[in-house]
Amino acid sequence: MADAARAAILPHFRSAALTSDNKLSAGFDPVTVADHAAELAMREILAERRPHDAVLGEEYGETTGTSGLTWVLDPIDGTRAFISGTPTWGVLIACGDADGPQLGIIDQPYIGERFLGGFGRAEMTGPRGNAPLATRDVPSLDDATIFTTFPEVGSRDERDAFHRLAGEAKLTRYGMDCYAYALVAAGQVDLVVEAGLNAYDIQAPIAVIEAAGGIVTDWRGGPAHDGGRALAAANPDIHAAALAILRDAP
């Protein structure tokens, strides 16, 4: 599925002919022909090989199933990055049940990196070969690197809570979309904090990060697989420190 999505997307990336449509009447939420083509390519494989599983995708909604398993697809997480030519977008694939994802893939087709987690595996493949994924053990916020995609994060309360947390961290960076979650799993950064997510934004990152030894919850320590607010942390200590600041956000 990830290979099929790569093949569908890459001809459009950095193409002078690429255009986007806006899915919002107010604001800007772009979608491109590459988003549609990639999701259709993945759905075709599932229809052939897993016809009894449910599918939830960003572009084509939900298809019911009878197996108890659901594939959750985001064909291009970070379409704003995609249309801007930056290689921080990715293909997200997750499979799980009502309790959350059991398997996840974060795939960056242009630079050829793929992060996989689940069923006892946590590994990265890429131009430099294969490597295990493992989060790092930074214990305190004052030595932590934190990411979020948008500086405003979400609501004003959510933005203020994030900036209180960021004020305690060593380094704050913005705009990486799903690639920031991959960096947590790879042991490069320590925290990703976001709000306003959908299930297809977060399920694959949950599986990959947890397989690598990290933790992903909502801002009160509960499950995050249905979307909303997400706190991805490299280890229990840094998760607890971040949660102590975020959990009081209205």
Same domain, 118 and 78: yes
Q: Between β-strands 215-217 and 227-233, what pairing exists: parallel, antiparallel or unpaired?
A: antiparallel
Determine the structural domain holding residue 238 and report its residue range: 141-246
- Provide the sign of the torsion angle of the four alpha carbons 197, 101, 113, 130, taken in this order: positive
Same domain, 117 and 147: no
Same domain, 124 and 180: no
**Contact present, 165 and 219 (Cβ < 8 Å):** no
Is there a binding annotation on residue 76?
yes
Q: DSSP secondary-structure letter at 61?
A: E
Same domain, 148 and 115: no
Q: In 3-state terms, what secondary structure has residue 231?
A: strand
Query: Residue length, the chain?
Result: 250
Q: How sure is the predictor about 25, in pLDDT bands with cuts at 50, 70 and 90?
A: confident
> How many domains does one find in the chain?
2
Is there a binding annotation on residue 77?
yes
Same domain, 69 and 191: no
What's the mean per-residue pLDDT of the chain?
96
Q: What is the pTM of this model?
A: 0.96
Q: What is the pLDDT of residues 126-162, one digit of tens each?
A: 999 999 999 999 989 999 999 999 988 999 999 999 9
Q: What is the pLDDT of residues 212-237, one digit of tens each?
A: 999 999 999 999 999 999 999 999 99
Same domain, 169 and 234: yes
Is there a binding annotation on residue 21?
no
- CATH for 58: 3.30.540.10
Same domain, 120 and 237: no
Whole-angstrom Cα distance, residue 144 to residue 146? 6
**Which of 101, 132, 163 marks a domain boundary?**
132
Is there a binding annotation on residue 201?
yes
Q: How sure is the predictor about 86, in pLDDT bands with cuts at 50, 70 and 90?
A: very high
pLDDT value for 230: 98
Mean pLDDT of 28-53: 96
